[in-house]
Structures are given as structure tokens and as C-alpha cells.
Amino acid sequence: MSLAATDVLTHLEASGFRARAVPAGRASDLASSLDAWRRSRALDETFDRHTLYAFRFTPPEDLPAARSLIIVSNPQPQVRLTFCREGRSLPVTLPPTYVWRRPDAEVRAALLEVLEPEGYSVVRAVLPVKLLAVHSGLARYGRNNLCYVPGFGTFHRLVAFYSDLPPADDPWQEPLMLERCHDCSACRRECPAGAIPEDRFLLRAERCLTYHNEDPAPMPGWIDPAWHNAIVGCMRCQLACPENKSQRQWVEAGPEFTAEETDLLLQGVGFDDLPGETVAKLESVDLQDCADILARNLCLALGQAAHGTTGE
């Protein structure tokens, strides 16, 4: 077997992705970082309980001999969804971190294209991908705690894989913040929820609009409905960020939902009872797993779209 990790990374780069590889054992360092945050009480207990429990810091059973972790950045645009209501066509934004162009399966296929002929394989890794990306040197944190990749800004989606391919080296480093962020507070000023503090590096996730509108629990009373600007997630700090200047106008037209489809979604009709065409539209923008939040979020987002306050 003559394939090197650098060959794989070069292939991914030629395919339009950005990637880094680190030794598989570095997963335990990710676990240690999260444990340190827990001990220092830097993480909200609710966020900790609901978000971090799913991570797995050891190689999966179907690839116990994993030797490397490959973290990949997949460029993604904002997507403009259109909903019809009361005779009006209302645009609603889907942020870049949700799948539109080139789903994760395509990243895996690009990896296997060069790995399989040499007898290597990959298995999806369920890890804190932002933390892995910045430790690997693939990305840097912004003040808003989002992950910035050169050339992509925050307009990308991260996915990680275990592989039995040996890493070429170990580029592990301490997380770094973008140089520009040291003298910039545009994102903090734009965040109405106060999720981006002055006094620490870590985001106050319990104050982040994305955290709450991805959660099916009732929306906290302190959140102003006028803050909502996307069907899920939030674009406020990303659009305000100077580092995204060349990406912020990257918007692609997504599916359009008829008045009948919009009404069904607002009524909270389950996916199994939706027309097949409607389900296909939702699956095309990675919303198939959002049945428990879709009606609520769509109602909030359409309220802002009707007033012309949703951003792209």
C-alpha cells in the first residue's frame, strides 16, 4: 500500500473540499477539552446534557483499527426557500451549515475513490467537528465561536471520518482565533441574545438562538420573535462578519412550497402524512429530521419574512 494521507488530502482539495488528517488517538484529546470546559462550568448544564451526550471518542466497532481522523470542510451557500401564504411568496433562509450542495455521502465517496483501491476504508466519526477542525489547523475560531476555513469563511459544513489509513504527520495545535477578531466586535454587536461575550472565548450556547430553535422544547420567553431570521439556525453574526464579505452574497434558490404545502407544514402534519413531493423538497435541504420543530420555526420565520426582516 503506497497511498499517503497527503495524497488523500490533495484529492479532496482537487474535488473542492478542504481537509486535514490527525492520528485517531486525538479523539481522546477532544474529550479532555470538553471535560475541562465542564469542570470549569463554561458549558451550560442543559446544553451539555442535550448536545454532548452523542459524541463517541473511540473508534467504531466496524473499524477498530482506525489510525487517523479526517476532518473535511464542504462549502455550502445560504439557500432561499420560498413559501406561499395568503397570496404572497415569502423567502426564508436556510443557513450554510445545513446540506444543500454535495451531501456528506459525496464527501465519503470522494474519500473512498482513493482509499478503496489501496485497501483502506472510512467510517463516519461522531465527534465535536468544530473543535477537531481548529485543533487540526483546518480552521480557526471566530469571536462568535463559529469555524472559519480559508476561502470558505463560515459558509461550509464539517464532517469527520475515521480511517485505517495512517496519518502523514500530526498537525495538532491549540485552537486559534482569527487575527481580525481581536480588534473586531461586529458579531457581538449584531447578536440580540447576548450569546457572544466580551470576557471569554467560548460562546454562551445557552443564549444562542440556533441552540433554541434546533430544540423542540418551548422557546424561552426572553427570546423576541423578531430575532428569528432563518427556518432553523441563525445568520445574524455570519452576515455581519467582515471575514464573510466575499461569501455573504452566495445564495442559491431552493425548493418552493405551494400554499397547500405551507399550510400542512404550519399545521405540524407529520412527515409520514405529507405528500411525497413535499417530503422530497424537505429532504433536498436536509430538513427531514426537523419534524418536531418545523411548524414552530416556520411560523416564526414567516412572520419575519412577511415584514421583510429576514436576512440573506
71 CB-side CA count, 13 A = 27
Q: What is the pLDDT of residues 16-65, one digit of tens each?
A: 999 999 999 999 999 998 887 777 655 555 555 555 668 889 999 999 99
pTM: 0.90
CB–CB of 71/19 below 8 Å? yes
Q: Which of 243, 226, 204, 236 is nearest to 46 (CA)?
A: 204
Give the strand order in the sheet containing 88-94: 88-94, 78-85, 251-257
CB–CB of 63/115 below 8 Å? no
Residue 59 falls in which region: left (phi positive, over 0), alpha (psi -120 to 50) or beta:
beta
Please identify which residue in the block is written with the cell numbers 464539517. 158
Task: Return the SS3 of 128.
Answer: coil
pLDDT at 303: 83
Strands 78-85 and 251-257, by their bridges, are parallel
Q: Which of 183, 186, 236, 184 is nearest to 207 (CA)?
A: 236
pLDDT at 41: 59
CA distance 203 to 43: 9
C-alpha cell at 12: 479532496
CB–CB of 132/69 below 8 Å? yes
pLDDT at 204: 86
pLDDT at 40: 67
C-alpha cell at 289: 429530521
Residues of the chain with pLDDT under 50: none
User: What one-character DSSP code corresponds to residue 32?
Assistant: H
